[in-house]
Amino acid sequence: MSLKHMREAWGITSNPFPPAAIAGEDSMDSPYNADILSEDREQFIEKLIVKASLPPGREFGYLWSQGRRDDTGFGKTRLMLQTSAELNSDFGQVIITKYALPAGTSMAAAWASMKMTGVTGIYPLLFNTISYAAQRQVVNQPSLLEKCWAAVADRNQVNVADVDSLSRVVESEIQRMHGKLFPGQPALRRDALQVIVSCTEQQVLSSLSKITPTARARNGLSYFEALYSLIRAAGVEHFFVFIDQLEDLATAKNVPRATRQREVGRFRDIFAETAGFRGHCHAIFTFHNRAAHALADFWHLERINPPFWPQDPMGRPATVVLKGLTSITQVEGLLATYLDSVRENHTGSAEPFDPSAFQILLERCDGRIGQLLAEAYSVLEQAADLGLSSITGQFIADAMPEPVDSGGQAETATSQEDTLEALWNR
């Protein structure tokens, strides 16, 4: 009966809100409105993308979320995914024009999560960027690999539809660029090269699926070098690697501590100390208090700079702390964006949510988008079951239990801040 009520009373075909609201690669199919969190988005792009690309370049950046009750659900993953799609759509030209970057600047990005790698190490994490680059993240928009193949074809006056000729040219250009970027290093592995030069999305993904976890752990860097060499051969000057859930590596109890420290140190070795990457290949990590607590010792021991703590004078220029939802206007816009996705005729309104619901939802979510979406899912279901004409703030207060503080998060954050400052300064 609830679906019938949704259709007849509210003009929506289903409940559009995600019950869990955990972002991942498939969340790109969910409704999105960049204007709702424009301040967070602008700060992320200017501070961690634009400024990192200006000479002499910055290899590491940190995207944080900090909440009173919890530190997750502020939209870090979704922001990274949307920004990578935006950069790849035109190699960053809209952003470059907006911020008046030097003529000829170009950018691309890939996203990877430690949750997708079985926390086995950094090399398989970098390997997974190829899978991301091969898949179309937005409907009717070429993948990053497709755009790079097309750019190489254009530079070499090759018909992109002639796959055999294109494959030969792409292979030659990758090898040439790899030799230029990494002089004196061994040539790219043949198997890594063959994956990238197949020049068809299906062939790339099929080839990747056949590579064993052991091979990914051993040779993932070589595959990443092949991808990076293609991107640079396509004329892209700056490549951003958005890295999610790195704390899964730091907290992996099945991996010896010495191994975990070595893996963290490899970020410095690859991005900051390898001439071919330095200044042009940038890693941006997601962070929150629990992740910082898990990673602080590794970061300090491996002397990765800048530090990731927002309060550190050296780390502040490389960190962005998301604010999340701060106004009822944002709450209304978020609800309307999701509800319009299941309306036959878009209204731009948050109906059936009454305006009185916006403030209480804002207070309950504590800025966390994920929390608000999950609560909106629940109250919409309850209101539909009861046949209500609208969802008021009073109904939400009566229907939903009060959010519970997660074990004194504010006090924990303070102690962690003291610990981290001591680590950086010792």
Residue 406 above 80 pLDDT? Answer: no
Domain boundary among 322, 352, 371: 322
Strand partners for 286: 63
Provide the pLDDT for residue 243. 96
Regarding whether 348 and 318 lie in a shared domain, the answer is no
Lowest-pLDDT range of 72-86, 249-263, 406-420: 406-420
Regarding whether 151 and 271 lie in a shared domain, the answer is yes
Give the model's confidence band at 90: pLDDT under 50 very low, under 70 low, under 90 confident, else very high. very high
Provide the pLDDT for residue 1. 61
Regarding whether 279 and 166 lie in a shared domain, the answer is yes
Domain assignment present for residue 407? The answer is no
Contact 413, 420 (CB under 8 A): no
Lowest-pLDDT range of 328-337, 344-353, 377-386, 397-406: 397-406
SS (H, E, C) 246-273: CHHHHCCCCCCHHHHHHHHHHHHHHHHC
Contact 323, 39 (CB under 8 A): yes
Q: What is the percent of the chain with per-residue pLDDT over 90, rounded to a whole number? A: 78
Q: What is the DSSP letter of 11?
A: -
Tens of pLDDT, residue by residue over 303-330, are 999 999 999 999 999 999 999 999 999 9
Provide the pLDDT for residue 25. 59
Residue 425 above 70 pLDDT? Answer: no
Q: What is the DSSP letter of 101?
A: P
Residue 170 above 70 pLDDT? Answer: yes
Q: How far apart (Å, rounded) are the C-alpha atoms in residues 245 and 235?
A: 30
Q: Provide the H-helix boundaries in 91-212.
A: 93-98, 122-134, 144-155, 163-181, 190-196, 201-209
Contact 62, 308 (CB under 8 A): yes
Average pLDDT, stretch 93-114? Answer: 95
Count of CB atoms situated within 10 Å of the CB of 112? 23
What's the domain count of the chain?
2
| 351: Cα separation from own chain's centroid | 31
Contact 291, 68 (CB under 8 A): no
Give the model's confidence band at 118: pLDDT under 50 very low, under 70 low, under 90 confident, else very high. low
What amino acid is encoded at 404 in this protein? V
Global pTM value: 0.91
Regarding whether 171 and 309 lie in a shared domain, the answer is yes
Regarding whether 335 and 202 lie in a shared domain, the answer is no
Domain assignment present for residue 204? The answer is yes
Domain that holds residue 344: 2-21+329-391
Regarding whether 167 and 47 lie in a shared domain, the answer is yes
Provide the pLDDT for residue 117. 58
Domain assignment present for residue 422? The answer is no
Residue 6 above 90 pLDDT? Answer: yes
Tens of pLDDT, residue by residue over 188-204, are 999 999 999 998 989 99
Residue 410 above 60 pLDDT? Answer: no
Regarding whether 233 and 166 lie in a shared domain, the answer is yes
Domain assignment present for residue 140? The answer is yes
- Average pLDDT value for the chain: 90
Query: DSSP readout, 288-328?
Result: -HHHHHHHHHHHHHTT-SS-S-TTSTTTGGGEEEE----SH
Domain assignment present for residue 254? The answer is yes
SS3 386: helix
Give 273's contacts (C-beta < 8 A, 6+ positions apart). none
Domain assignment present for residue 195? The answer is yes
Q: Which sign does the torsion angle of CA 339, 340, 346, 348 carry?
A: positive
Instruction: Decide which of 119 and 307 is more confident.
Output: 307
Provide the pLDDT for residue 424. 38
Packing angle between helix 257-267 and helix 122-134, nearest 10 degrees?
50
Domain boundary among 286, 305, 322: 322
Domain assignment present for residue 44? The answer is yes
Regarding whether 186 and 76 lie in a shared domain, the answer is yes
Regarding whether 288 and 257 lie in a shared domain, the answer is yes
